[in-house]
A and B are shown apart, each in its own frame.
Chain A
Amino acid sequence: MPLERTDPVVRIAVDLNRCQGYAQCAFLAPDVFAMHGEEALLYVPEADEEQREQLARAVAACPVQAILVDAVDVPAEAVSGAR
């Protein structure tokens, strides 16, 4: 169930303690990141395959490296005991 995925996605989390609201990400990957008010950042926690490229640009451009994305594919790891 939950560990199986059909659609390839990139999972995203932003360390908002680090984020300084510079908005580079919102500029480079507007489908994923948006400023909310003056300083707060809203993002889509899972980006689609076609957003991968702009997402990578945003990750690289963030001056405080606050954007965390999948470094590996969804685990093909052993699951037992579940359901």
Chain B
Amino acid sequence: MRGDGALERLGREGRIVVVGASLAGLRAAEALRDEGFAGSLTVIGDEPHEPYDRPPLSKQVLLGRASAGRTALPRLRAVDATWRLGVAASGLDMAAGLVRLADGDEVPYDRLLIATGVRARPWPQEAEAELDGVFVLRTSDDSAALARRLDAGPERVLVIGAGFTGSEIASACRERGLPVTVAERGAAPLVGALGGVVGAVAADMQREGGVDLRCGVMVTALEGDASGRVRAARLSDGSTVETDVVVVSLGATRNTEWLAGSGLGAGPRGIACDAGCRAFDIRGIVTDDIYAAGDVARCPHPLFGYQFLALEHWGNAVAQARIAAHNMLSESAERVPHMEVPSFWSAQFGVNIKSVGVPSMATEILITQGSLESRRFVGVYGYQGRVIGAVSFDHGRWLPFYQELIETTAPFPPPFATVDRRPGGQRPVDADFPDPSVPTHGPTVTLSGYSPADRRTTFTPAH
């Protein structure tokens, strides 16, 4: 291809198709134009809305400080795209180079970016999931429906699953004065993402915030009344919670079904791609015209043993969108890898939680600043003698320092004696992550092994 003008032609008059019109899709479209792409750009999205931002949906919107329909993403530049909204991509023909749409249309491409993200995992019992008052939270429509119900002043809200989203929902409800029960199968909230040491702090925050927090239990059934409204939930410890609003926060499922049978290396764990966001086919051969970005992608990360990482993080979607856009239009020598250190934030119970690296890979944790008791601290995560991640509770300004330790593969425990000296010494302790074979709710980072053709699922729902 080199030197034969194909890339120049692509840049001038090629056809680029983006499937998924959300954060990664929009940012990629903008980046393609930034890179000088002058050809035709089509963005396909199954939601009827223009690209919008999701983090406010479990925060500002549920607090009543913004409305769900008004979190559209800012446009950082004009993209001059054809938007095909409200229609899903239903198939991919790799040989012919075209995307099939649910309305029967076909859209040919020279380069394809897949950014179809994830969707909320529904309550597994279908009839129970359909009861009035049972919600999930992923889309702006979900958020609008839940916010409306919260406005009506329910008797009690039951949140199933205390990952980040579930915990943020519980926090917003408490702030509005609503009675809340949280049921979590793990030993503590956030335990899958941050481990038991930090999870215990999250549990204290919830209880002090007035949440009726039940850990180590599963919801076994939801019960409705004659009119089909949810009334109660049965728990595995034999207890019953009377509730009229249930929010199912059991993590997410990757939107890859539409690629089944296409020959692309896509499955329930996401779309396997190389560090440059190029997707693998099921034979483990990297394609040169299909890219993936955002929540749906899983890429090997050099800093984390080249494990394929699937990250459900805002920053990851933005970064991968740019990488994919650049690489699509570049010669192989000019391609760049996605090397960003994973990072995310969450705000709940008045505390700002931030994290860098991959805490869930760690075995040990060391509190290097502040204290767990004060809920203002930095915890550093260690794995095989290396700093692998860090988390801060109301100590976010320090994270860039720890990010550098991760980037430079600094030894764990870190070389500095203390950052702020406290009695009690500085000893790493077991980070207390749950057995990885037992699924927790919403870890947001998934280490998904090495095989691009892997189609196994790991999640087995309760029951």
Q: Do they bind each other?
A: yes
Report A's interface with B, CB cutoff 8 A: 1-3, 9-13, 15-17, 19-21, 36-40, 42-46, 68-72, 74-75, 77-83
Closest to A83 in B: B86
Q: How far is the CA of A80 from the CA of B81 in the complex (A)?
A: 11
Q: When the two chains form their complex, are residues B71 and A79 in contact, meaning their CB atoms are under 8 A apart?
A: no
B77 to chain A, nearest CB (A): 6
The answer, yes or no, to whether B240 is at the interface (CB within 8 Å) is no
Closest to A68 in B: B74
Q: When the two chains form their complex, are residues B53 and A71 in contact, meaning their CB atoms are under 8 A apart?
A: no
Residues of A within 8 A of B396 (CB): 19-21, 39
Mask of B50-82 contacts with A, CB within 8 angstroms, 1/0: 100101100110010110001111111111111
Q: When the two chains form their complex, are residues A81 and B75 in contact, meaning their CB atoms are under 8 A apart?
A: no
Known: A39-B351, A69-B74, A82-B87. 11 other contacts (CB 8 A): A13-B74, A21-B397, A37-B394, A39-B394, A44-B66, A45-B53, A71-B77, A77-B82, A78-B82, A81-B86, A82-B83
Known: A21-B396, A36-B350. A42 touches B60 (CB 8 A): yes
6 smallest CB-CB distances across A and B, nearest first, come from: A37-B350, A40-B347, A39-B352, A40-B352, A81-B84, A11-B74
B65, B77, B85, B315: which contacts A81 (Cβ < 8 A)? B85
Q: When the two chains form their complex, are residues B352 and A37 in contact, meaning their CB atoms are under 8 A apart?
A: yes
Residues of B within 8 A of A79 (CB): 82-85
Closest to A38 in B: B394
Q: How far is the CA of A72 from the CA of B55 in the complex (A)?
A: 22
Residues of B within 8 A of A2 (CB): 48-50, 85
Closest to A22 in B: B397
Report B's interface with A, CB cutoff 8 A: 48-50, 53, 55-56, 59-60, 63, 65-66, 70-87, 101, 103, 105, 314-315, 318, 343-345, 347, 350-352, 354, 376, 394-397
Residues of A within 8 A of B84 (CB): 79-82
Closest to B103 in A: A81
Residues of B within 8 A of A78 (CB): 81-83
B86, B318, B344, B397: which contacts A20 (Cβ < 8 A)? B397
B81, B318, B351, B397: which contacts A77 (Cβ < 8 A)? B81
Residues of B within 8 A of A37 (CB): 347, 350-352, 394
Prevailing SS type, chain B contact patch: loop
A63 to chain B, nearest CB (A): 11
Q: How far is the CA of A45 from the CA of B140 in the complex (A)?
A: 13
Q: How far is the CA of A44 from the CA of B343 in the complex (A)?
A: 23
B75, B81, B351: which contacts A74 (Cβ < 8 A)? B75
Q: List 10 A-B pairs, Cβ < 8 Å.
A: A3-B83, A11-B73, A38-B352, A44-B65, A46-B66, A46-B70, A68-B76, A72-B75, A78-B83, A81-B103
B392 to chain A, nearest CB (A): 9
A38 to chain B, nearest CB (A): 5
Residues of B within 8 A of A81 (CB): 84-87, 101, 103, 105
Q: How far is the CA of A68 from the CA of B228 in the complex (A)?
A: 44
Known: A37-B347, A40-B347, A45-B53. A82 touches B394 (CB 8 A): no
Q: When the two chains form their complex, are residues B345 and A17 in contact, meaning their CB atoms are under 8 A apart?
A: yes
Q: When the two chains form their complex, are residues A17 and B59 in contact, meaning their CB atoms are under 8 A apart?
A: no
Name which of A1, A2, A16, A45 has the most chain B CB atoms within 10 A of its CB: A45
B48, B65, B80: which contacts A42 (Cβ < 8 A)? B65
Q: How far is the CA of A44 from the CA of B65 in the complex (A)?
A: 7
Known: A16-B55, A45-B66. A1 touches B48 (CB 8 A): yes
Known: A37-B347, A39-B352. A45 touches B60 (CB 8 A): yes
Residues of B within 8 A of A12 (CB): 74
Closest to A69 in B: B74
A11 to chain B, nearest CB (A): 4
Closest to B44 in A: A81
